[in-house]
Amino acid sequence: MADPTKEELMARIAELEKRVGAKQSGKLEFKVGEKGGVSVYGLGRFPVTLYYEQWTRLLDAEEDLRAFLEANKSRLKLRREA
Protein backbone atom coordinates (compact mmCIF):
# COMPACT_ATOMS: atom_id res chain seq x y z
CA MET A 1 0.00 0.00 0.00
CA ALA A 2 1.46 3.33 -1.08
CA ASP A 3 1.70 6.33 1.18
CA PRO A 4 -1.04 8.91 0.57
CA THR A 5 -0.14 11.92 -1.53
CA LYS A 6 -0.05 15.43 -0.16
CA GLU A 7 -3.31 16.20 -2.00
CA GLU A 8 -5.02 13.15 -0.47
CA LEU A 9 -3.86 14.14 3.00
CA MET A 10 -5.04 17.74 2.52
CA ALA A 11 -8.45 16.48 1.34
CA ARG A 12 -8.70 14.22 4.38
CA ILE A 13 -7.78 17.08 6.73
CA ALA A 14 -10.42 19.30 5.11
CA GLU A 15 -13.03 16.55 5.54
CA LEU A 16 -12.17 16.08 9.22
CA GLU A 17 -12.20 19.83 9.87
CA LYS A 18 -15.64 20.03 8.27
CA ARG A 19 -16.92 17.26 10.56
CA VAL A 20 -15.51 18.92 13.68
CA GLY A 21 -16.96 22.28 12.63
CA ALA A 22 -20.40 20.73 12.20
CA LYS A 23 -20.24 19.16 15.66
CA GLN A 24 -19.21 22.44 17.27
CA SER A 25 -21.81 24.53 15.46
CA GLY A 26 -24.30 24.06 18.30
CA LYS A 27 -26.58 21.95 16.15
CA LEU A 28 -28.62 19.45 18.11
CA GLU A 29 -28.87 15.88 16.85
CA PHE A 30 -31.49 13.34 17.83
CA LYS A 31 -31.03 9.57 17.74
CA VAL A 32 -33.10 6.58 18.79
CA GLY A 33 -31.04 4.18 20.88
CA GLU A 34 -31.11 0.39 20.97
CA LYS A 35 -33.47 0.39 23.95
CA GLY A 36 -35.89 2.86 22.37
CA GLY A 37 -34.83 6.01 24.16
CA VAL A 38 -34.34 9.31 22.35
CA SER A 39 -30.91 10.85 22.82
CA VAL A 40 -30.09 14.50 22.21
CA TYR A 41 -26.51 15.24 21.24
CA GLY A 42 -24.97 18.69 21.25
CA LEU A 43 -26.03 20.01 24.65
CA GLY A 44 -22.86 19.01 26.44
CA ARG A 45 -20.18 16.38 26.63
CA PHE A 46 -22.67 13.53 26.99
CA PRO A 47 -26.05 12.97 25.35
CA VAL A 48 -29.32 13.45 27.21
CA THR A 49 -31.46 10.32 26.86
CA LEU A 50 -35.10 10.00 27.84
CA TYR A 51 -37.95 7.73 26.79
CA TYR A 52 -40.98 8.94 24.84
CA GLU A 53 -43.17 9.46 27.91
CA GLN A 54 -40.41 11.41 29.66
CA TRP A 55 -39.89 13.70 26.66
CA THR A 56 -43.60 14.42 26.36
CA ARG A 57 -43.86 15.18 30.10
CA LEU A 58 -40.90 17.53 29.85
CA LEU A 59 -42.31 19.28 26.79
CA ASP A 60 -45.70 19.62 28.48
CA ALA A 61 -43.97 21.38 31.38
CA GLU A 62 -42.17 23.88 29.12
CA GLU A 63 -43.85 26.99 30.57
CA ASP A 64 -43.19 25.89 34.16
CA LEU A 65 -39.58 25.06 33.34
CA ARG A 66 -38.98 28.43 31.65
CA ALA A 67 -40.56 30.26 34.59
CA PHE A 68 -38.43 28.25 37.04
CA LEU A 69 -35.25 29.01 35.09
CA GLU A 70 -35.99 32.74 34.97
CA ALA A 71 -36.93 32.87 38.66
CA ASN A 72 -33.67 31.14 39.61
CA LYS A 73 -31.37 32.65 36.98
CA SER A 74 -29.30 34.51 39.58
CA ARG A 75 -28.51 31.23 41.34
CA LEU A 76 -27.74 29.24 38.18
CA LYS A 77 -24.36 28.86 36.59
CA LEU A 78 -24.41 30.29 33.08
CA ARG A 79 -22.01 28.71 30.60
CA ARG A 80 -20.73 30.53 27.58
CA GLU A 81 -21.07 28.61 24.34
CA ALA A 82 -17.76 27.44 22.92
pTM, 2 dp: 0.63
Q: Specify if 80 maps to a domain.
A: no
29, part of any domain:
yes
1 within domain boundaries: no
Report the pLDDT value the prediction gives residue 23, as an integer from 0 to 100.
60
Residues 18-72: tens digit of each pLDDT: 777 656 667 899 999 999 999 999 888 899 999 999 999 999 999 999 999 999 9
DSSP states along 33-46: -TTS-EEEESSSSS
Residues of the domain holding 14: 6-75
Count of domains forming the chain: 1
**Residue 82 in domain:** no
**In-domain check, residue 34:** yes
Flag whether 60 is in a domain.
Answer: yes
In what helix (H) or strand (E) does residue 43 lie, and over which residues does it extend?
none
Look at residue 45 and tell me if it is in a domain: yes
pLDDT score recorded for residue 53: 98
Kindly report, residue by residue over 17-32, the tens digit of the pLDDT.
877 765 666 789 999 9
